[in-house]
Structure 1
């Protein structure tokens, strides 16, 4: 998904209210398309809409088809494309083409399945919606139970359509989160970068003077002890933890919580010597060599970064590499 929009929840709410609902999903694109595969539009039985499948250029036609599909309960596949000379006028640049799957809730899309999907999203459980367009089968697969191909899709956050099997996989990952322990200068550069990259950032530091609204505007600030704070926020497979305090009394409690979780990234500031001492402390705390190896230290890609902003860039680059390229 482009971002974690509540489109399935809105469709379920419209259905449960008795007015009916349809979900339209981009399942395939060619050329340059304004919305990526997996983008969704919900249409109510009264013609209300939430979300988008094209940025506005084909929504009108989709709504008409959706209301007709609501009457018969069957799914529909729609394809929209334009010639190069007309492309920019309707928003499908360079002759782009999109295919859209239209599914009435309570018809082609079972209500109980949509309800389970919405609960999985609410609980931050990475879940894939798998639809066989020939057999009509719909099912959910959680990331924890995914095969290799699906696991790759979860990691890349990439929905897709297999032309040969005619199976669409819609990946519903929760929003990415970044927890920064240590409200230092690097954090002031890292937090806005992370927000631009699609993360929900949190800053943890019991020192009120450091973790202040003036230094971190529009950012959730937690002044509890770090291990309590990270548990309060939550640690899961879509969360990254970055430790920046240089103080073991602050870093280590959060680090131990992260090593017991399945966060996708753990980074810790400090020299090679500092990191060696950190590894020794974790070993003494009972963690295995495999667990300790999850810690990226010194934090960030080795790009010769100098100063807080460049170090923040190196951290964001390494987080992205781990998220998108590693299993």
Structure 2
């Protein structure tokens, strides 16, 4: 099973359904104890029992496949509960017993093809969506949360990237766009920073018009843009799922990037430099008409104050602060 496809399950389900293979979406809606996959994890099963994704790391997939093939025949959704006792937990890789509840939805009957297509289209344009289904009445909808009866719960779950159950049998599946980190300045700190960010699930882009710094040999396999920072940011269209970090120490590069980031909805903007350097930066921004509310969005000196010294330690402090802002606001 290819891990690269675990985040593309809705897209695969739609493709399989349209290809006539049949498709059932299996989604983890609740867990207790030491469940191997988190709520919201998905698996797609076709009529031949072929699968992509995972709902349990292998311990209940066999039973899920059997139930899914029956669901394709009768077209009905199912809510399955699997318990893993302490006696068998070790065999399936659990530290202790756990329980998993899994929702099965045949595409085209229980889950309308058009609704799944709308979800796939929203994901392609980085538009956040919540798929909401009632596990008692089987009513369902796709929403951005605005004006929805479950708006507060949807907003909280989308902010936390946490799918889950709500009162009344409602399950909210969060489909947020991927997190992105844009680093302005391909300096030494950027090397461990992009590695750490990738480990945390971020798509990373480096911006540096200086050929010596932005050399691919220094950042193997990374996406590097050699455009001027404000032009590159305009093309990248940073949004509320994007963090921007400026590292160049050069006002000619950092300042345009900062202004571009402040004109967007980025959830985090961090700027390298000492307190003295930042004070001069603020003077320039104020002179250019940037207001106090926008300036307050800047985290500088960048990173949590943990006494970091080396580039790797500074990268740790930056990634920790990004995480703190993302998860705690």
Structure 1 and Structure 2 fold alike (TM over 0.5): yes
CA distance change for structure 1 residues 276 and 267 in 2, over 3 Å: closer, same or farther? Answer: same
1:114 pairs, out of 109, 116, 129, with 116
The corresponding residue for 2:155 is 151
Measure, in 2, the Cα distance between the counterparts of 1:143 and 1:278. 38
Measure, in 1, the Cα distance between the counterparts of 2:327 and 2:285. 27
The 5-angstrom pairing of residues 177-256 of structure 1 reads 177-256=180-259
> Is the contact between residue 54 and residue 61 of structure 2 (CA under 8 Å) also seen in structure 1?
yes
The corresponding residue for 1:296 is 299
CA distance change for structure 1 residues 198 and 145 in 2, over 3 Å: closer, same or farther? Answer: farther
Measure, in 2, the Cα distance between the counterparts of 1:244 and 1:141. 38
The corresponding residue for 1:169 is 172
Measure, in 2, the Cα distance between the counterparts of 1:190 and 1:144. 35
The corresponding residue for 2:30 is 28
Compare 207-216 and 313-322 and name the one that shifted more: 207-216
> Is the contact between residue 5 and residue 53 of structure 2 (CA under 8 Å) also seen in structure 1?
no
Measure, in 1, the Cα distance between the counterparts of 2:310 and 2:320. 16
Measure, in 2, the Cα distance between the counterparts of 1:43 and 1:96. 23
TM-score, normalised relative to structure 2: 0.94
What are structure 2's unaligned runs of at least 5 residues?
none
Aligned residues: 324
Compare 25-34 and 196-205 and name the one that shifted more: 196-205
Measure, in 2, the Cα distance between the counterparts of 1:206 and 1:4. 35
Compare 181-190 and 317-326 and name the one that shifted more: 181-190
TM-score, normalised relative to structure 1: 0.95
Measure, in 1, the Cα distance between the counterparts of 2:237 and 2:145. 18
> Is the contact between residue 126 and residue 143 of structure 1 (CA under 8 Å) also seen in structure 2?
no
> Is the contact between residue 241 and residue 267 of structure 1 (CA under 8 Å) also seen in structure 2?
yes
> Is the contact between residue 34 and residue 96 of structure 2 (CA under 8 Å) also seen in structure 1?
yes
What are structure 1's unaligned runs of at least 5 residues?
none
> Is the contact between residue 5 and residue 52 of structure 2 (CA under 8 Å) also seen in structure 1?
no
Q: Per-residue deviation at 1:287?
A: 2.5
Aligned-CA RMSD value: 1.7
Q: Per-residue deviation at 1:3?
A: 8.8
